[in-house]
Amino acid sequence: MTVLVPTMGALHKGHQALIKRARTLDKDVIVSIFVNPLQFENKADLEKYPRSPERDIEIATIAGATEVWFPEYEDLYPEGFKTLSSGALGNLYEGSSRPGHFDGVVTVIDRLCAIAKPDKAVFGEKDFQQLTIVKAMKSKIEIVAVPTVREFDGLAMSSRNLRLSETGRSVALVIHRALAAAKLAPTVEIAQEILNTTLSMEPGFDKDYATIIDEKDFSLADEGTENRRAIIAGWVEGVRLIDNMPMVGR
Ligand code: PAF
């Protein structure tokens, strides 16, 4: 039995949590490291994506990977390959700001799984829309979710954090501040207001969206929504950051 942990490298504690979780599921854990060009709508973002293969091998192995796999572009995408569609959810939020992003994600996951043939695959809740879309892929592979790993001050672990200056990093904390404050709000309306107000107080944060959604289909949450989640995306120093948190329902 094999578990796949798909990654794009620049591994950090968040990835380590995924690998450790994978290790509890089965004894063979493959960590794939592939910066997937298909999911980058922005070429500069692709070029700037941090790469640290040697360190990645070390981190993955210490966390419990039994194989670290660096597929080549040609292995995954032979001539004439077809890009898959991520469906309606793939066009909302992250998909709306990053056209084609989720089609690239589902395509690479499909190819990685076709080659590695895992029984299970592990994904982080940090990319909650990605997790939801991957769960909806028609596949026999069991998808296991792992909660977001945060720094001591709440910043969600992300390879992109490496691109922030010290000032940028402290600006980015507004995301967690907004989520944590909204979580305690008694109604969806108040939670939404808290998100808007908190984020607007940080001039260095350039908001893309901040919304309370129904986890099921990412429609707007209302008082009747059982599983609500706040999702936030924006830019700090030109670096796109995303985060999310379940909201307390009634
Ligand atoms: O979350 C990521 O790092 C990527 O989207 C993934 C799942 C490895 C696919 O390239």
- DSSP secondary structure, 155-189, as one string: PBP-GGGGG--HHHHHHHHHHHHHHHHHHT-SSHH
- What is d(CA 133, CA 121) in angstroms, rounded to the nearest whole number? 14
Percentage with pLDDT > 90 across the chain:
96
**Do the beta carbons of residue 183 and residue 175 sit within 8 Å?**
no
- Residues of the domain holding 115: 3-146
Residue 85 lies in a domain: yes
User: Do 128 and 30 share a domain, yes or no?
Assistant: yes
Report how far Cα 184 is from the mean position of its chain's Cα atoms: 24
* Residue 248 pLDDT class (50, 70, 90 cuts): confident
Of ligand 1's listed atoms, the one at least distance from the Cα of 35 is 10
The predicted structure's pLDDT at residue 249: 63
Q: Which residues are CB-contacts of 229 (< 8 A; sequence separation ≥ 6)?
A: 128, 212, 213, 215, 221, 244, 245, 246, 247
Task: Report which of 148, 154, 150, 113 is spatially closest to residue 131, judged by C-alpha positions.
Answer: 148
Q: Which of 112, 146, 180 corresponds to the end of one domain? A: 146
Percentage with pLDDT > 70 across the chain:
99
User: Do 169 and 231 share a domain, yes or no?
Assistant: yes
* Residue 75 pLDDT class (50, 70, 90 cuts): very high
SS3 assignment, position 248: coil
| Residues 96-144: tens digit of each pLDDT | 999 999 999 999 999 999 999 999 999 999 999 999 999 999 889 999 9
The predicted structure's pLDDT at residue 139: 87
Residue 237 CB neighbour total at 10 angstroms:
15
Residue 152 lies in a domain: no
User: Do 131 and 14 share a domain, yes or no?
Assistant: yes
Task: Give pTM, 2 decimals.
Answer: 0.96
**Do the beta carbons of residue 242 and residue 126 sit within 8 Å?**
yes
User: Do 128 and 182 share a domain, yes or no?
Assistant: no
CATH for 178: 3.30.1300.10
User: Do 23 and 93 share a domain, yes or no?
Assistant: yes
How many domains, in total, are found in the chain?
A: 2
Residue 178 lies in a domain: yes
Q: Which of 80, 111, 146 corresponds to the end of one domain? A: 146
User: Do 73 and 23 share a domain, yes or no?
Assistant: yes
| Residues 25-74: tens digit of each pLDDT | 999 999 999 999 999 998 998 998 999 999 999 999 999 999 999 999 99
Of ligand 1's listed atoms, the one at least distance from the Cα of 6 is 8
- What is d(CA 172, CA 178) in angstroms, rounded to the nearest whole number? 11
Report the residue among 8, 112, 132, 240 best suited for mutation to probe ligand 1: largest number of ligand atoms under 8 A from its CB.
8
| Ligand 1-lining residues (CB < 6 angstroms) | 6-8, 36, 39, 105, 108, 127, 130
Q: Which residues are catalytic?
A: 15
- Region 144-156: mean pLDDT is 98
For ligand 1, atom 2: residue with the closest CA: 7
